[in-house]
Homo-oligomer: A and B are copies of this chain.
Amino acid sequence: MTSPGNARIANVVGLGLIGSSIAAGLSERGWTVHGDDLDLDVLEEAHQRGLIAMAGLNAAAEITFVAVPVSQIPEQVARALGSTAGVVTDVGSVKASICATTVNDRFIGGHPMAGSEADGIDGADPNMFDGAIWVLTPVTDSDDEAFTSVAAVVRSLGAEVVALTPERHDALVAIVSHVPHLTAATLMSLAAQRSQEHATLLRLAAGGFRDMTRIAGGRTDIWLDICSENREAIGAALDDLIGGLSEVRRLIAEERRSDLGERLQTAREARINLPGRVTDPTVVVEFRIPIPDRAGAAAEVFTLAADLGVNIANFEVVHLAESARGVAVVLIDESMTELFRGGLIARGFRPSVSALG
């Protein structure tokens, strides 16, 4: 694969499932992607499939994605910061520990909430992030320009950016990802153990059980890293789950049918209302938010939107000719207008709002 000389340049370090999908998505969108991986066969394969244009890091890359296992991220992020001049982001499933060890103006932590059954480069999919949530975790003094650059590239891959503090991210994914995985593994182990007493047990496992335990088939090493790096949030969420199950057990033993019914009904409604893949709102309003001259202000607009549950349908930062200050132009669903406006004003921003036709 050859690219025009003026193509935008990106590096992707680690060509597993996520890294190779990022490489595929960027290449498809006209970027010149440089890739790196410890496994030379993978590197060669990525090149042959046209996922990357060249092996090795390019010092002129405007962005470097670090998509290696969690335990190796700090080292690889440091290497990317040292050998390139652009912004650096990672895709690790745990953020607080990484963002604490890697404090740099040009680094913004990230975590795309996407994946597939497939493993490694064979699962490379340029559309993997289409409609997915991609969390970015700017810290208080993150550089506005670095944040908006990473956010814009991520958005160009089809994802919706949600900004959270690293600690908040870790607490939330413990609930929706890490503990569900550990629960799937525990259910699967329990059934496997009992199947030694009764050979037929696993043959009775129908669709529901298969759905519930599917994620237990994933790679073990990734999860050991996650459990180590996010052990406090996981511990707290496991305590909540164990407490919830103990309560259910008690309601069943005491035959408290209506209390149990209420719980199951609440869960049912929540499941039915679980938001699907991101879709663009039909009626949007435009917020123009002057960005004060302090680090982290653009990221704060995003973090606030996530706090309020406001989906950002589109954004850009424009720089006014007569001033060094930027203006964030943010599109959101019309129904969220007052909520977002209230939040912004409370945080000291001075937004102007206009309806779009």
Contact = CB atoms under 8 A, between A and B. Distances in A.
A202 interface: yes
Contact of A162 (B179, B203, B218): B203
B216 A271 contact: yes
Given A162-B204, A200-B306, A271-B217, A264 B185 contact: yes
A348 interface: no
A201 B185 contact: no
Interface in A121-140: 132-133, 135
A214 interface: yes
A272 B181 contact: no
A177 interface: yes
Contacts of A189: 244, 263, 266-267, 270
Contacts of A217: 268, 271-272
Contact of A271 (B188, B240, B266): B188
Contacts of A188: 267, 270-271
A91 to B, nearest CB: 13
Dominant SS among interface residues on chain A: helix
Given A115-B207, A217-B268, 8 more contacts: A113-B205, A168-B198, A177-B206, A189-B244, A190-B237, A208-B214, A214-B271, A224-B257
A335 interface: no
Contacts of A349: none
Contacts of A315: none
B205 A274 contact: yes
Given A113-B204, A211-B215, A215-B208, A187 B181 contact: no
Contact of A267 (B176, B185, B219, B231): B185
Those 8 A-B pairs whose CB atoms lie nearest each other, nearest first:
A199-B309, A192-B270, A185-B267, A217-B271, A208-B215, A188-B267, A113-B206, A186-B244
Interface of A: 113-116, 132-133, 135, 162, 164, 168, 172-173, 175-177, 179-192, 194, 198-221, 223-224, 227-228, 231, 234-235, 237-242, 244-246, 248-249, 252-253, 255, 257, 260-261, 263-268, 270-272, 274-275, 306-309, 311
Given A213-B274, A264-B220, A183 B187 contact: yes
A212 B224 CA distance: 20
B186 A268 contact: no
Q: How many copies does the complex hold?
A: 2
Contacts of A267: 184-186, 188-189, 192, 213, 216
B242 A200 contact: no
Contacts of A179: 187
A175 B116 CA distance: 27
A187 B311 CA distance: 24
Contacts of A237: 190
B249 A242 contact: yes
B162 A176 contact: no
A179 B245 CA distance: 10
B274 A133 contact: no
A165 B132 CA distance: 47
A261 B219 CA distance: 10
6 contacts: A133-B204, A172-B198, A176-B204, A177-B209, A216-B271, A238-B249
